[in-house]
Structure 1
């Protein structure tokens, strides 16, 4: 496999280490790729790199508004974004003070999207992703080690390098179901939803609400009704196995237990 583009984000549960298990399940004759829980984007970037223009349409989505702003600005305004990130990096001498400055109004930012423009949100998201514990942004705490080792020139350079892969890509900030129900020919959907065992975790969003409020039973029912081909990565759980009894399940291990669930027509 050729060297794949590396996401500039640190993302808990990201799939960069699982690509060898995931990519063989992607059909070769698809016209449209959709990823409604794009997260750090490792699977999307791998597929974009491998398929390129053989896939006519790419659509990525995430309910995390700040993450949406980041990917949108990387696509549309990478040069200014990289310049601002570099300036922030070179002028910052106190990582904790930077963290406190960026998080002091997080509740207001979560409640009012107009409190900060999309570009400023993108800058804020990336910096916090690089200087918080495990890249958890608003739901995590400051990490001096991450500030010293993860907020680097090379991490900012990846923002510039990844931008061409987003050219022409549809980027949205809606519910995952929009990608399931919209018509299309030869559509393939990859889904990496919040894991069942992480229901009580607080990995994503302010106070982790993007994880704790996810309805797994409704998700399974929606996938059962989806007419497109799809592949899901999930954690292993008797409850999830029961919810997805209608799907083909392939189990594999990567650092921790994880399963592949796929539509039998895929």
Structure 2
């Protein structure tokens, strides 16, 4: 079963190393840093499943899917309908939009460009208001972002032409203008997402925005500024004709919903989560923690050196269950985990390195060519 969510650092490509090397018998499955859940969504034949993440937005998303929340689904459908409308709107008005661009290219008058685009969007105000889903916010908020994004795109397209020569086809110009509209709607929704508490948006709507932004942000990055605001831009032109219809259908998939309904879902610190359920040697923990090079990018929650040390101490000295840890190879990780040390379950720590094709015993601890390490307290 596929994860419903695009998530940076997801382990879909590593499943061929992970799944065959899980313990043969598992009573209860635990994942304290579930993220996109690539492994969790491929777990079956266990008595109970428990997942956790420090990101409350992620956990709210999984709970919305599990509960088949109608407001969550309807919000995503409204967003998807808006995306389709904006593509069609650009196409229907392509001749006008091209004329505005040609005039700007010829005269290079930025004020005239702003006035002509403002006039165009004013002329189409009622069409836009009737078809663009804006969460009951004032239309002016979206309008300002629309004019800004499209104006910026016109200027950038002109600079691109001046640098590289004329674009081959008018379609290229329209594609850039189209990107301006799609970027405007994304940036508007990013603003709403960053202000969802101030705007008193219901949790299902927040979860829908979280999912939409995950799908359309640049390179699936999730990065926050010093004010705690998500600030990754729109993914770009290649995302313009990407719609959510199939994804929305999958979010209602019976197998997916049942899998989540058979799972305890928590939003805790990893140690509190693992201590809550009194683990035994029949349980199994899969761990894919934030990498030590990404402290500041973990879903607006820090996971720093102290946390990495806490995790290593728990796994080596306290954990009674079998575990598999998949983590990026770094100086810190090699220092925290020493092969063959006897762990709390009285088994030696085993460390393997894997590339895209191979899983091998990690004998050379200074081998920095091994990108990822797979660490267990049981024999593979």
More strand, by proportion:
1
Q: Which residue, 53, 58, 61 being the options, matches 2:52?
A: 61
For the pair 1:216 / 2:312, whether they are aligned, the reply is no
Residues 218/115 of structure 1: CA separation in 2 closer, same or farther (3 Å cut): farther
Which digits, 9 at most, give the CA deviation of each residue in 1:135-193, with x for residues without a partner?
23435222124642554322222222232321221111111113322314421110100
Cα RMSD, aligned residues only: 2.6
Any conservation in 1 of the 2:292–2:305 contact (CA below 8 Å)?
A: no
Residues 239/56 of structure 1: CA separation in 2 closer, same or farther (3 Å cut): same
For the pair 1:205 / 2:201, whether they are aligned, the reply is no
For the pair 1:229 / 2:328, whether they are aligned, the reply is no
Is the partner of 1:38 in helix, strand or coil? Answer: coil
- Runs (4+) of structure 1 moved beyond 4 Å? 105-109, 112-115, 211-214
Is the partner of 1:104 in helix, strand or coil? Answer: helix
Higher radius of gyration, 1 or 2: 2
Structure 2: gaps (5+ residues): 87-180, 223-229, 342-348, 358-369
Any conservation in 1 of the 2:28–2:47 contact (CA below 8 Å)?
A: yes
Q: Which residue of 2 aligns with 1:250?
A: 352
Any conservation in 1 of the 2:71–2:205 contact (CA below 8 Å)?
A: no
Structure 1: gaps (5+ residues): none
Question: TM-score scaled by structure 2?
Answer: 0.60
CA shift, 1:244, in A, is 1.0
Q: Which residue of 2 aligns with 1:155?
A: 247
Within 5 Å, which residues of 2 pair with 1:1-266? Answer: 5-47=1-43, 51=44, 54-78=45-69, 80-92=71-83, 93=86, 94-104=181-191, 108-109=195-196, 115-137=200-222, 138-145=230-237, 147-148=239-240, 150-161=242-253, 162-181=256-275, 182-185=277-280, 186-199=282-295, 202=297, 204-206=298-300, 209-211=301-303, 215-224=307-316, 225-245=318-338, 246=341, 247-254=349-356, 257-264=371-378
Residues 222/151 of structure 1: CA separation in 2 closer, same or farther (3 Å cut): farther
Is the partner of 1:155 in helix, strand or coil? Answer: helix
Structure 2 Cα separation of the partners of residues 37 and 114 of structure 1: 29
Any conservation in 2 of the 1:59–1:169 contact (CA below 8 Å)?
A: yes
CA shift, 1:19, in A, is 0.5
Structure 2 Cα separation of the partners of residues 139 and 190 of structure 1: 30
Is the partner of 1:17 in helix, strand or coil? Answer: helix
Question: TM-score scaled by structure 1?
Answer: 0.84
CA shift, 1:78, in A, is 4.8
Any conservation in 2 of the 1:131–1:151 contact (CA below 8 Å)?
A: no
Residues 184/146 of structure 1: CA separation in 2 closer, same or farther (3 Å cut): farther
Is the partner of 2:252 in helix, strand or coil? Answer: helix
